[in-house]
Amino acid sequence: MYKTSLFLNGDDYDVIIYDAEPAGLLCSMTHKAKQLVFTRAFSKVELEQAGLVKSQTDCVRLVESLCFVVSLTQEVQIHSRLPGISPPEPIATSTAAEVYLSTTTVGREKLMEVLGRGLIVLCKEKPMGLNAVLELGKWLLENNPNQPMVDK
């Protein structure tokens, strides 16, 4: 639908906008030197909220508004500065999961520490199959660091 070059953050990118009828538009940005490819779908609703239609002029507006953002999971993603365009959803990767588990706090502890204690209990009890999931769930509810302390 539309193809151009973009100089962003000191680097050159080839940008292609594809029509993903009826869903919206798909943007692909390829770093010219490193051949890194970034993609982002812009939904029909987002395009409408940003006042964009699938025209050459609006493709130019979209490309000129593109930037990179770092998600909560530390992934670099394409975003648009146009009002109405939502921030990109985090990418589900093993790296993203590791970052989430190691940085999220529950109470005064990291989530990984709490899960580790629960898994130690499971190893001692050795429940089988789905019972292991149920037991971990029960343990997490009983040992929730965010649970308020109540005197009995």
Residue 73's pLDDT is 66
| Per-residue pLDDT of the chain in tens (152 residues, 90 and over written 9) | 899 999 988 899 999 999 988 889 999 999 999 988 999 999 999 999 999 999 999 999 999 999 999 877 677 899 999 999 998 887 777 877 787 788 888 888 888 899 999 999 999 999 999 999 999 999 998 988 887 766 76
Does residue 117 lie in a domain region? yes
DSSP class of 144: -
pTM, whole model, 2 decimals?
0.61
How many domains does one find in the chain? Answer: 2
**118 and 76 in one domain?**
no
Does residue 10 lie in a domain region? yes
**112 and 64 in one domain?**
no
Residue 152's pLDDT is 65
Residue 149's pLDDT is 67
Which structural domain range is residue 35 located in?
2-80
Does residue 55 lie in a domain region? yes
Residue 107's pLDDT is 82
Q: Which two tokens stand for residue 31?
A: 């770093």
**73 and 8 in one domain?**
yes
Does residue 95 lie in a domain region? no
> Residue 146 is which amino acid?
N
Residue 88's pLDDT is 87
Does residue 91 lie in a domain region? no
- E-strand ranges in the chain read 2-8, 11-20, 24-31, 37-43, 66-70, 76-80, 105-106, 109-110
Q: Which two tokens stand for residue 8?
A: 């962003």
